[in-house]
Amino acid sequence: MSAPVPDVVAEGRRLVDSAGDLRMRLLGGVGVALHDHRPVPPALERGYGDLDVVVPSKSTKQTSAVMATAGYVPNDRFNALHGAQRMLFYDTHNKRQVDVFVGVFSMCHRLDLSARLDQHPYTLDAADLLLTKLQIHQINRKDLVDAVRLLLTHENADIAGGGDGQVSSMSLDRLRAVTSSDWGWFTTVTDNLALVRTAAGELLDPPEAGVVETRVDEIAAALAAAPKSMRWKARSVVGRKTPWYELPEEVGGT
């Protein structure tokens, strides 16, 4: 059995490496930090606490074995109740939690990632990472910082299939695919894109802010222009009269 290391970004790499043939990928702030393709300004650097990972569907048993070998303690009660969708493990030495999403990232909206774990060696495709940030109904400052960072370090591109391993590109195809079939997804993402645009102007010098603002505008235009599903159109009639998002409960504890 190995032991988690104090540096959380290094530990994220170690954990994925230790997973072997289990396709484990990082998300959250550490996932974003491992997705840089150019230096970023100090305003976009931040500290990271816990780790978040996603693993394939129906891999609960294999994941438990990997985490034990990597030096993590399971939350047995939570994992017994929710392990088909989500699991919790603890690094007791460094006082960190690992939140494991099994196949699907489900918070304010549901994002199926089961076929999306081969785009980057350590983390998710940039578009999937951006969606995990922009799905938050009441987005906070750290998630805005992460979204700005992703947009500054990735050029928008129409990539068939939504990634194809081109790790320095932001797949418009993937963003359209998720938001054009679900009005709720579309609404939350486009609301938050406006907030990301504002945050870029507050965090960055004008030239770099301009890069992010242009990329936000390109994404917003692409999402608006994409053909929408019948389900999207039917839900749009109801609009904001009823909630279009879930409010997830915090999970944790020992």
- Per-residue pLDDT band at 252 (split at 50, 70, 90): low
Q: Is residue 1 included in any domain, yes or no?
A: no
Residue 160 has pLDDT above 60, yes or no: no
Residue 80 has pLDDT above 80, yes or no: yes
Q: Is residue 215 included in any domain, yes or no?
A: yes
Q: Is residue 253 included in any domain, yes or no?
A: no
What is the tens place of the pLDDT at every residue in 95-125?
999 999 999 999 999 999 999 999 999 999 9
The domain total for the chain is: 1
User: Across the chain, what does the average pLDDT equal?
Assistant: 94
Residue 179 has pLDDT above 50, yes or no: yes
DSSP states of the chain = -----SSHHHHHHHHHHHTTTS--EEEHHHHHHTT-SS---GGG-----SEEEEE-TT-HHHHHHHHHHTT-EE-HHHHHHHTTTEEEEEETTTTEEEEEEESEEESSSEEE-TT-SSSSSSB--HHHHHHHHHT-TT--HHHHHHHHHHHHH-EEE--TTS-TT-TTEEEHHHHHHHHSS-HHHHHHHHHHHHHHHHHHHHHS-HHHHHHHHHHHHHHHHHHHHS---HHHHHHHHHGGGS--S--PPP----
Residue 253 is predicted with a pLDDT of: 55
Residue 173 has pLDDT above 70, yes or no: yes
Residue 162 is predicted with a pLDDT of: 46
- Per-residue pLDDT band at 168 (split at 50, 70, 90): confident
Q: What is the pTM of this model?
A: 0.94
Q: Is residue 58 included in any domain, yes or no?
A: yes
Q: Is residue 245 included in any domain, yes or no?
A: no
Residue 254 has pLDDT above 60, yes or no: no
Q: Is residue 20 included in any domain, yes or no?
A: yes
- For residue 114, the enclosing domain spans 8-239
Q: Is residue 2 included in any domain, yes or no?
A: no
What is the tens place of the pLDDT at every residue in 197-251?
999 999 999 999 999 999 999 999 999 999 999 999 999 999 999 999 999 876 6
Residue 165 is predicted with a pLDDT of: 53
Q: Is residue 153 included in any domain, yes or no?
A: yes
CATH number at residue 162: 3.30.460.10
Residue 251 is predicted with a pLDDT of: 64
